[in-house]
Homo-oligomer: A and B are copies of this chain.
Amino acid sequence: MRTDVDTDTDQVSLAVSTVIFALRPHPTTGRTTLWLPLVRRIREPYEGRWALPGGPLRPDEDLAASARHTLERTTGLAPRHLEQLYSFGAVDRSPEDRVVSIVYWALVRPDEDARATDGENVEWFVADDVRGLAFDHDTILRYALARLRAKITYSPIAFAFVTPEFTLADLRAVHEAVLDRSLDPANFRRQVLASGTVTATGSYLTGTSHRPPALYRRAALPEEIR
């Protein structure tokens, strides 16, 4: 039991990690699903294991800024959605030293993540298939997945996964990929239009082998919903 807390504060270190989600086709089924980039640890503990990208918090940067730096280092891209997930601080979550991790989660667009080439120690995985991560990162990933799937049902975060102009089918495909079930096109359309979160651009997407769908843009939000 320590008593000299004030003179010995460096025993607890603080890290910021990020769960980065993107949508890509599943390697076997072809259905669009959630992927995330992981980094291979190059030193102990858990050397050689995959882990969430992260790093120590610098004294001169905010928590979200730290998460953005991590994401930039990993994928080379700026997230369209970045949000604090939870803080994990169990005493034994890291062997030897004591580390508290403040975890963020981010969403990036498929057209963006195409530019993100895998580095030598960075690789993308199907989120639901990931197991055996370093530290308590399995737990963190499950938690992030649950949060994403819950939040997409009541919050307009699906926009982070589509291009600035999109069809309602695009938006529906995002929901279907995240929730892993099909949704009624008619009802989905009505719900989205009724929510007032989209505005029609007036133009239509041509080149499809069927009726051209209307293009929409995200509406200027009168009241921000966290």
Report which A residues bind B (CB closer than 8 A): 1-2, 5-6, 9-14, 56-63, 84, 86-87, 89-91, 98, 100, 102
Given contacts A86-B84, A89-B62, contact A14 B100 (CB under 8 A): yes
Residue on B nearest A56 in the bound complex, by CB:
B5
Contact A2:B91 (CB < 8 A) given known A9-B10, A86-B84: no
Q: Contact between A102 and B89 (Cβ–Cβ < 8 Å)?
A: yes
CB of A2 within 8 A of CB of B59, answer yes
Other A-B pairs, 7, CB within 8 Å; known A2-B60, A62-B90, A84-B87: A2-B59, A6-B56, A9-B14, A14-B14, A57-B89, A63-B100, A102-B102
Question: Which chain B residues border A6 with CB–CB below 8 Å?
Answer: 56
Which residue of B59, B86, B87, B91 is within 8 Å of A60 (Cβ)? B91
Separation in Å of the A127 CB from the closest CB of chain B? 20
A136 to B14, CA, bound (A): 20
Q: Which residue of B lies closest to A6 (CB)?
A: B56
Q: Which residues of B contact A2 (CB under 8 A)?
A: 58-60
Nearest chain B residue, comparing its CB with the CB of A97: B59
A89 vs B101: C-alpha distance when bound (angstroms): 12
Residues on B with beta carbons closer than 8 Å to the beta carbon of A1: 60
Check A12 against B84 for contact (C-beta < 8 Å). Answer: no
Please name all residues of chain B whose beta carbon is closer than 8 Å to the beta carbon of A12 when the two chains form the complex. Answer: 14, 57-59
- Most chain B CB inside 10 Å of its own CB: which residue of A5, A61, A89, A90: A89
What CA separation (Å) do A89 and B89 show in the bound complex? 16
10 A-B residue contacts at CB 8 Å? A2-B58, A2-B59, A2-B60, A9-B10, A9-B14, A10-B10, A12-B14, A12-B59, A59-B98, A84-B86
Q: Taking each of A6, A87, A100, which has the highest tally of chain B beta carbons within 10 Å of its own beta carbon?
A: A87
Chain B neighbourhood of A61, CB < 8 A: 91
Separation of A158 and B90 alpha carbons in the complex (Å):
27
Cα A100 to Cα B64 with chains together (Å): 12
Instruction: Please report the C-alpha to C-alpha distance between residue A57 and residue B10 in the assembled complex, in whole angstroms.
Output: 11
Q: B57, A100: Cβ atoms under 8 Å?
A: yes
